[in-house]
């Protein structure tokens, strides 16, 4: 299994319960075929440019181990989740 880091930017208009629900959804998905090492909520930050008419976003960082096959599925779920504005998954060395 490889180590990965994933950063997602969540819609800033969501309340804390909805943000926690999204984090739990992605943590559960990762844990099916890997292991989440840490989830770090960085809070609401100003964006460099507007994304979907939002000037701010809630940043969350996931550090996890997983098989490479999981990454395609994780990115697919990120794309179809309306409240995820942007995301990136990076393989760590």
| CATH number for the domain running over 2-40+49-57+66-86 | 3.30.70.60
d(C-alpha 45, C-alpha 24), whole Å: 21
CA–CA–CA angle 39, 44, 51 (5° rounding): 105
Q: pLDDT value at position 64?
A: 94
Q: What is the pLDDT along the chain (93 residues), one digit of tens a residue?
A: 899 999 999 999 999 999 999 999 999 999 998 999 999 999 999 999 999 899 999 999 999 999 988 999 999 999 999 999 999 999 998
Q: pLDDT value at position 85?
A: 94
**Nearest alpha-carbon partner for 9 in 55, 52, 60:** 60
Would you list the domain boundaries of the chain?
A: 2-40+49-57+66-86
The pTM assigned to this predicted structure is: 0.89
């Amino acid at each position: 299994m490889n180590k990965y880091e994933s950063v997602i930017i969540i819609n800033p208009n969501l309340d804390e319960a909805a943000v926690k629900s999204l984090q739990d959804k992605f943590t559960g998905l990762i844990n099916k075929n890997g292991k989440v090492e840490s989830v770090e909520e960085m809070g609401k930050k100003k964006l460099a440019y507007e994304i979907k008419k939002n000037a701010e976003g809630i940043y969350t960082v996931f550090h996890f181990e997983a098989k490479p096959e999981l990454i395609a599925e994780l990115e697919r779920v990120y794309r179809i989740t309306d409240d995820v504005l942007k995301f990136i998954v990076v393989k760590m060395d």
